[in-house]
């Protein structure tokens, strides 16, 4: 009888021990998920709307502004030689791209004269720094669509889209990439940046990275920017520079810097950009390689090859891009490496597949809205497609 009681007591004790151990493991697992996948309860900002009504045609780039470059860029020569650029890695040059026949390619004779950017109406928002209002050096809301190729344990194909949305001093950038069919992608990823435009460029307030799809699961990372700091994906706050960018805003910030002459489009030039990543804030380096003819589904486009010049990435994604002077220095090609230093065979390559679309200038949009409001209801209804 005593033996049975002892045996039963031992079983109960073992059960309680396993229960306590399971609870501890559950709490530890939950804490780990909380630290790795921390995200605020606040929903993402409402997505800004824009009506893209006109194609951006290749044109001679506007002259740079008289704003002197900042002092953190490198100059060609000895200073750049210290940067230890990565060796040129062999990667497929646009798998699956089908250039247009040479008869349809853009030629210098076909380039139209410079199309001046329209200045938006002055807008003073509460968050706008001082009396600053962004001027004509900032492109209108723009949408770029890309053909996606690449490699992940074999060739991958899909489509991608970048939207630059702007309303006065408020901006958003959205980069969306899908591998596989658009209706049911095998994997999808969206990078979104929301913030303000200031005298030194974009000032992110929030960054979201969302991964999904049939094989991508459902993961979300959020970064929150405050005065002089940022809350990383694990909930830890760390200092940052005022000019720091996130993984989505950096594309538009670099476009603006080259377009206005704040950075020099010259072979061998080193561009340094504070970059806020999910796990750290890092001073990122980009090297201006050379002016190349980029083969795209639209045909060849001349663009500056701007390559990530980093060896100390700690496993963070690296990006290289091709910025076209004839298209307001917008990226006509983007290549993103998962971990370039360890594996140069895992990447996605985005090539511009059609002319960028831009929104109507604010003045023209107001005139169109006023005209539509002035029309009789019957006439307005007949104009609907």
User: Using one digit for the tens of pLDDT, what is the confidence trace for 27-44?
Assistant: 333 333 333 444 556 789
Q: Is the pLDDT of residue 130 over 70?
A: no
User: Using one digit for the tens of pLDDT, what is the confidence trace for 306-345?
Assistant: 998 777 666 567 889 999 999 999 999 999 887 777 777 8
Residue 242 confidence (pLDDT): 92
Alpha-carbon radius of gyration of the chain:
25
Please say whether the beta carbons of 216 and 205 come within 8 A.
Answer: no
User: Using one digit for the tens of pLDDT, what is the confidence trace for 143-192?
Assistant: 999 999 998 888 999 999 999 999 989 999 999 999 988 777 888 999 99
261: left (phi over 0), alpha (psi -120 to 50) or beta: left
- Look at residue 367 and tell me if it is in a domain: no
| Number of domain units in the chain | 1
- Look at residue 15 and tell me if it is in a domain: no
Hunting for tokens 């968050």 — which residue is that?
A: 127
- Class of residue 132 by CB neighbours under 10 A (exposed 0-12, middle 13-18, buried 19+): middle
The DSSP H or E segment spanning 321 is strand 318-324
304 vs 289: CA distance, rounded Å = 7
Residue 102 confidence (pLDDT): 40
- Look at residue 6 and tell me if it is in a domain: no
Residue 180 confidence (pLDDT): 87
pLDDT, greater one: 121 or 298: 298
**Distances 3 to 6, 9, 10, 34, 38 between C-alpha atoms, Å:** 5, 10, 10, 46, 51
**Among 134-138, 275-279, 374-378, which is the least confidently predicted range?**
374-378
Task: Give the residue-averaged pLDDT of 241-253.
Answer: 94
Residue 17 confidence (pLDDT): 40
- Look at residue 375 and tell me if it is in a domain: no
Q: What are phi and psi of 63, to 5 degrees?
A: -65, 145
- Class of residue 229 by CB neighbours under 10 A (exposed 0-12, middle 13-18, buried 19+): middle
User: Using one digit for the tens of pLDDT, what is the confidence trace for 191-237?
Assistant: 999 999 999 999 999 999 998 877 767 889 999 999 989 999 889 99
Please say whether the beta carbons of 172 and 191 come within 8 A.
Answer: no
Contacts of 164 (CB under 8 A, 6+ apart): 139, 141, 142, 143, 171, 172, 173, 252
Residue 373 confidence (pLDDT): 56
Q: Which token pair is 175?
A: 């980069």
Residue 83 confidence (pLDDT): 37
- Look at residue 188 and tell me if it is in a domain: yes
Q: 3-class DSSP state for residue 148? A: strand
- Look at residue 255 and tell me if it is in a domain: yes
User: Using one digit for the tens of pLDDT, what is the confidence trace for 344-374?
Assistant: 788 899 999 999 999 977 655 555 555 555 5
225 vs 204: CA distance, rounded Å = 7
Would the pTM count as exceeding 0.75? no
Strand pairing partners for 153?
none
Q: 3-class DSSP state for residue 145? A: strand
**Distances 312 to 308, 309, 340 between C-alpha atoms, Å:** 11, 9, 11
323 vs 294: CA distance, rounded Å = 10
Q: Is the pLDDT of residue 376 over 60?
A: no
Please say whether the beta carbons of 359 and 52 come within 8 A.
Answer: yes
Residue 66 confidence (pLDDT): 52
Please say whether the beta carbons of 181 and 172 come within 8 A.
Answer: no
Segments forming the whole domain that contains residue 173: 71-360
- Look at residue 59 and tell me if it is in a domain: no
Please say whether the beta carbons of 221 and 208 come within 8 A.
Answer: yes
User: Using one digit for the tens of pLDDT, what is the confidence trace for 264-311?
Assistant: 888 999 999 999 998 889 898 999 999 999 988 888 999 999 998 777
Q: Give all strands (DSSP E) within 15-127, no chain letters.
A: 52-55
Residue 216 confidence (pLDDT): 63
Please say whether the beta carbons of 150 and 177 come within 8 A.
Answer: no
Task: Give the residue-averaged pLDDT of 112-140.
Answer: 51
User: Which of 276, 253, 267, 298 lies closest to 98, judged by CA?
Assistant: 298
DSSP H helices in the chain: 2-36, 78-81, 249-259, 362-374, 377-382
355 vs 332: CA distance, rounded Å = 10
- Look at residue 385 and tell me if it is in a domain: no
User: Using one digit for the tens of pLDDT, what is the confidence trace for 67-119?
Assistant: 554 444 554 443 433 333 434 434 344 444 444 344 444 344 443 443 434 43
């Amino acid at each position: 009888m005593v033996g049975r009681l002892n045996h039963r007591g031992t079983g109960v004790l073992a059960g309680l021990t396993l229960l306590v151990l399971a609870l501890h493991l559950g709490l530890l697992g939950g804490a780990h998920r909380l630290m790795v996948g921390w995200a605020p309860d606040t929903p993402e900002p409402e997505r800004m709307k824009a009506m893209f009504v006109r194609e951006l045609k290749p044109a001679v780039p506007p002259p740079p502004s008289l704003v002197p470059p900042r002092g953190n860029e490198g100059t060609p020569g000895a200073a750049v030689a210290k940067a230890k650029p990565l060796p040129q890695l062999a990667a497929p040059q646009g798998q699956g791209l089908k250039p247009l026949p040479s008869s349809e390619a853009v030629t210098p004779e076909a380039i139209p004269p410079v199309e001046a950017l329209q200045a938006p109406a002055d807008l003073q928002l509460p968050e706008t720094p001082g009396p600053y209002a962004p001027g004509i050096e900032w492109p209108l809301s723009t949408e770029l669509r890309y053909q996606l190729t690449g490699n992940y344990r074999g060739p991958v194909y899909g489509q991608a889209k970048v939207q630059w949305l702007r309303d006065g001093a408020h901006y958003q950038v959205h980069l969306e990439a899908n591998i596989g069919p658009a209706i049911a992608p095998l994997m999808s990823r969206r990078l979104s940046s929301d913030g303000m435009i200031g005298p030194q460029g974009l000032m992110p307030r929030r960054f979201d990275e969302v991964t999904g799809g049939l094989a991508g699961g459902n993961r979300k990372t959020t970064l929150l920017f405050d005065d002089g700091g940022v809350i990383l994906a694990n909930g830890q706050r760390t200092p940052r520079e005022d000019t720091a960018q996130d993984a989505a805003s950096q594309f538009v910030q670099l476009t603006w810097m080259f377009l206005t002459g704040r950075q020099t489009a010259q072979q061998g030039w080193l561009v340094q950009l504070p970059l806020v990543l999910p796990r750290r804030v890092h001073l990122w380096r980009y090297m201006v390689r050379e002016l190349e003819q980029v083969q795209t589904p639209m045909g060849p486009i001349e663009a500056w090859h701007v390559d990530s010049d980093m060896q100390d990435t700690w496993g963070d994604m690296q990006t290289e891009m091709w910025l076209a002077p004839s298209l307001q220095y917008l990226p006509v090609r983007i290549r993103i490496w998962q971990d370039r230093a360890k594996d140069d065979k895992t990447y996605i390559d985005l090539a511009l597949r059609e002319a960028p679309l831009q929104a109507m200038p604010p003045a023209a949009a107001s005139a169109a809205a006023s005209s539509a409001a002035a029309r009789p209801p019957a006439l307005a209804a007949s104009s609907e497609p």
